[in-house]
Amino acid sequence: MRNSLDPAAEWSDIVDAAVTELQPGVYLGLFPNGREELAFYRVVSETDGIAELKGWTILARVSSPANGTHFVPGESPVVTVTILDTFAQGVSRDDFSTLNLYMYGPQDPKRTVTPVKLLNATSDRTKTPHHYIDLKTNPDARVNGNVLTYPLRAVTDEAPGTYTVSVRAVLAADGLQQIMKFANVQIGTSTVEGPVVEKSKCAACHEGAISGKMYLYHTDPGRSPTGNWSLDYEPVRSCKSCHNNDGYAAYSDASAPGGRVPDPIVRRVHGVHMGEHLKLPFNIDPEVGDFRDWTHLLFPADVRNCTKCHVDDRWKTEITRLACATCHDNTWFGVKAQTPAGMEAHAGGAQATDNNCLLCHDVDGLGKGVAEAHLVPPPQIDVVDVALTPPANGTHYVAGEKPVVTLVFKDDAGKSIGDHNVVTTANFSTASLFVYGPRSRTLPVLTSTAKLGVDTKRASVTCSLNGPWDINGKTFKIAINGTAPQNITIVGANSLVTAAEVVTSLNSVITTLNGGAIASVASSTRVNIKSLIRGAAARIEIYSGEVTTAMGWKAKGVVLEPDVFVAAVSTPGNDLRPITADPLDFNDPMVTRTSANITYQLDDVAGLAPGTYGIYVYHLPVAGKIAGLNAKTGLGHITFQVGTATPEKKVATNCTDCHGDTIWHLYEGPIHAAWFDTDYCKACHDYGHVATGEMFKNQGGTSLNGWSGFGAMPIVRRVHGVHRGNYLEHPEEIYANATVDTFGHIVFPQDIRNCTKCHAETDTWKQNPSRVACLACHDTDEAKTHAKLMTFVLDQDDPYGPNAIETCVVCHGEDSEFSPDKVHSISKPYVPPYSRERRE
């Protein structure tokens, strides 16, 4: 409702209203509490997406067949379009810049076409219009007030099935006011066909949680300055109006008659989602390739997971060359001897039709079936059972309680590995436990690492280039644990000095410096230097010079002079293995290994903020050491409650809507597998601030531990930055070893201002603005300067430290003039998306 007829007055929902449609376009509204006399109202169906329409909409109807179920040859259906002028504004056909009629069918993608004969439209692509009817100008469109009728031609030889009539209307005075309506009609059969893909499948990634719009290609401003969102809002019904086997949509191919080829939906959608995996030059040529604008796109789930989009089994039972070749786009189905350059001949020989596809590619076919070929193998992850001693009250821990964690490592068959005393550095390259929470602002808790921090670590650095090195007689400048810099002459038997000779030269000096450090040979051809003390005083400072350059002691991009290496907890893991190689290394006294399991004694929960906490444990077995343990990693996770029995809502969720059941950090980079679930991610990407400095050191920053002293970058900055990648000025800053190309081409599959797409459970995103969150997306130099000006930094060497006072909330706090929900507002009224063109 709204309180006046002023077009600028805001609409608000009446959640307790009851509405009944008395006849098409005529509604009876019942409004409790006497509100019917206080306001003007309109009826809005959320599924219609017509919130932008101001006092009008359209209805599309098709006449009934004589037999009551389907039209037969000789019958002529009549399409009726009703313009509902619900505010009596005088809206008529003349007020629309677009009023088009489309038709397609049957629904089976192999047979879907625009029935131009039935529609009485031309298929000549040199004509305007073609493959649709312009109801504003077509002489067969009859106007009676606000009712338009268009008689279709008599049914003749159209393929039997379900056909869809679609009508699109755009108001001339305001291009944002547009709508597309649909009506199905049966031709030649009463059997109703179902879709291959439904809107809900597309909506999982593409539907704006705030705007309600579907963010596909046409929603972006381009041909229209406001975008053509109505063409996208009901996929795939709206899409197939043009994208079918003989429809309006076509792509350019100079070798085809007329230079244009119909662009069916199966080709377009498969090709776009296949993105960077496409191979055919016709598709990927950066200048003229048909899919050149999508070659940067990576499907966020495993693209082999066909049921991510498909609603039935036709993807594996009704196989076509078109469908397969849209992903496997360099496959040639013609005569092998005529295989064009850049293509590969079909392994099953030339195929002139689709009739024989199932002979090989069915479940019981001669070759690999489609389902088998697209089978996504289960992740190579073994299970770690995680259990806690239960709280006394049965629901949550309270002050005075010290929970005990019990871990059981399982093998590939799901059975215990047996004696857990085998969990050693010889058998596992990693075995780590993380305890953290609460969800609202996660920190490491209750463990030795959480309590002692850097006191469990030594400063350490390893050169990055392999020896031997041409450094005989040259000077290496280094300081240890805060001493004055020392100039150490490197001595070798020859001009090329070995790692062992460097170690001897260094240890003659550094072992006695203020607690000392020791050098050792690493990986036979490199040198490691490690402090002989643990904690905040442990420090190795390396100065620029010939030896530093030759051995690669300073990483590329580091500008600090000297470069500083401190005792650092980059991720707050607790080592479950006994550390016996060096007595100075920390052995966690809270770990107990037995023949049945591993236990970890947590600290008293007293002082923890009430909320939901997590335990994450993973291990990396050394290949061939433990019988039956062949998977890449083992993983376990649970949550538990402290101070309250009520689980906290997640600040961010819905990751699986797009990413499905894929696993992060399993196949690339340092392995520490995690599902797409923030409860896992925050084991490392927490808010623990453990060192000084700003930005990444190897990107010209000053941080002595990870990003701005946080170690692993807080999840809010990492995830925002990755999803905003294509539009950032500095996408390389998302990750320490990133380049512009690492994340710089990622395009969020909808307007990223739909904040509740991810922040669906809480309002934290609009209540607690911060530099870490906001600068992840707004990364211009101007934005960074603004954030610095608005932050009182007591320690200039630690701008993100605990003593920095942010004033963001003054202007950007909840309900303030520039609160996040207001500056990101894209509904009421709807705001078209920013340009989503790929980064050049």
How distant is the alpha carbon of residue 158 from its chain centre? 43
Q: How far apart are the first and last CA of the chain?
A: 46
On average, the pLDDT of the chain sits at 92
What single-letter DSSP state applies at residue 354?
Answer: S
Q: What is the dihedral of CA 434, 439, 442, 447, to 10 degrees?
A: -30
The edge-to-edge listing of strands for the beta sheet with 142-144 is 56-62, 78-85, 147-151, 142-144
| Biggest CA-to-CA distance, the chain | 103
For residue 394, the one-letter residue type is G
pLDDT for 47 beyond 90:
no
Nearest Cα residue to 638 out of 576, 680, 591, 590: 680
Global pTM? 0.90
Average pLDDT on 565-574 reads: 94
Handedness of CA 550, 553, 557, 561 (dihedral sign): negative
Question: How would residue 7 be classed by pLDDT, with cut points 50, 70 and 90?
Answer: low
pLDDT at residue 621, rounded to an integer: 97
pLDDT at residue 798, rounded to an integer: 94
- Domains within the chain, CATH numbers bracketed: 1-43 (no CATH), 53-196+236-240 (2.60.40.1930), 274-373 (no CATH), 378-453+570-683 (2.60.40.1930), 458-566 (2.60.40)
pLDDT for 470 beyond 90:
yes
pLDDT for 23 beyond 60:
no
Q: CB–CB of 712/818 below 8 Å?
A: no
Cis peptide before 73 (omega within 30 of 0): no
State the alpha helices, DSSP H only, in 318-395: 321-327, 357-361, 370-373
Question: How would residue 11 be classed by pLDDT, with cut points 50, 70 and 90?
Answer: low
Q: Give the separation between CA 253 and CA 261, rounded to whole angstroms.
A: 7
Nearest Cα residue to 464 out of 436, 499, 495, 489: 499
| Secondary structure class of 181 (helix, strand, coil) | strand
Q: Give the separation between CA 649 and CA 717, rounded to whole angstroms.
A: 20
pLDDT at residue 541, rounded to an integer: 98
pLDDT at residue 668, rounded to an integer: 84
Structure tokens at 834: 């920013």
pLDDT at residue 835, rounded to an integer: 85
pLDDT at residue 50, rounded to an integer: 58
State phi, psi for 706 to the nearest 5 degrees: 60, -140
For 671-724, give the secondary structure using H, E and C: CCCEECCHHHHCCCCCCCCCCCCCCCHHHCCCCCCECCCCECCCHHHHHHHHHC
pLDDT digits (tens, 9 = 90+) for 474-519: 999 999 999 999 999 999 999 999 999 999 999 999 999 999 999 9
For residue 120, the tally of other CB atoms under 10 A from its CB is 14
pLDDT at residue 49, rounded to an integer: 44
Question: How would residue 25 be classed by pLDDT, with cut points 50, 70 and 90?
Answer: low
Phi-psi region of 471 (alpha: psi -120 to 50; beta: other; left: phi over 0): alpha
Q: Give the separation between CA 505 and CA 415, rounded to whole angstroms.
A: 51
How distant is the alpha carbon of residue 187 from its chain centre? 42
Which is it for strands 331-332 and 344-345: parallel, antiparallel or unpaired?
parallel
Across 365-480, the runs of DSSP E, i.e. the strands, are: 381-388, 404-409, 428-437, 443-444, 458-462, 469-470, 475-480
Percent helix, strand, coil in the chain, to 5, is 20, 25, 55
pLDDT for 40 beyond 50:
no
Average pLDDT on 722-743 reads: 93
Structure tokens at 689: 């601030």
Question: How would residue 38 be classed by pLDDT, with cut points 50, 70 and 90?
Answer: very low
Q: Give the separation between CA 708 and CA 772, rounded to whole angstroms.
A: 10
Average pLDDT on 809-819 reads: 94
Percent of the chain with pLDDT over 90: 86
Q: Give the separation between CA 478 and CA 491, rounded to whole angstroms.
A: 16
Tell me which of 425 and 23 has the higher pLDDT: 425
Q: Give the separation between CA 6 and CA 176, rounded to whole angstroms.
A: 18
For residue 568, the one-letter residue type is A
Q: Among all chains, which residue has been given the structure tokens 């433990």?
A: 626
For residue 354, the tally of other CB atoms under 10 A from its CB is 16
Q: Give the separation between CA 317 and CA 773, rounded to whole angstroms.
A: 47
C-alpha distances in angstroms, 352 versus 320, 349, 358, 429, 705? 11, 10, 14, 54, 61
pLDDT at residue 39, rounded to an integer: 46
Structure tokens at 341: 């350059």
pLDDT for 21 beyond 90:
no
Structure tokens at 258: 């007329």
Q: Give the separation between CA 740 and CA 745, rounded to whole angstroms.
A: 8
Q: Give the separation between CA 207 and CA 131, rounded to whole angstroms.
A: 28
pLDDT at residue 45, rounded to an integer: 44
Helices (H) and strands (E) in the chain, counts: 21, 36
Q: Among all chains, which residue has been given the structure tokens 């023949």?
A: 595
Question: How would residue 85 be classed by pLDDT, with cut points 50, 70 and 90?
Answer: confident
pLDDT at residue 36, rounded to an integer: 44
Question: How would residue 89 be classed by pLDDT, with cut points 50, 70 and 90?
Answer: confident
pLDDT digits (tens, 9 = 90+) for 211-235: 999 999 999 998 889 999 999 989 9
Structure tokens at 524: 């036979």
Q: Give the separation between CA 563 and CA 569, rounded to whole angstroms.
A: 18
What single-letter DSSP state applies at residue 113?
Answer: B
Q: CB–CB of 637/616 below 8 Å?
A: yes
What single-letter DSSP state applies at residue 416?
Answer: B
pLDDT at residue 366, rounded to an integer: 80
Q: CB–CB of 162/99 below 8 Å?
A: no
pLDDT for 441 beyond 90:
yes
Q: Among all chains, which residue has been given the structure tokens 């579907």?
A: 214
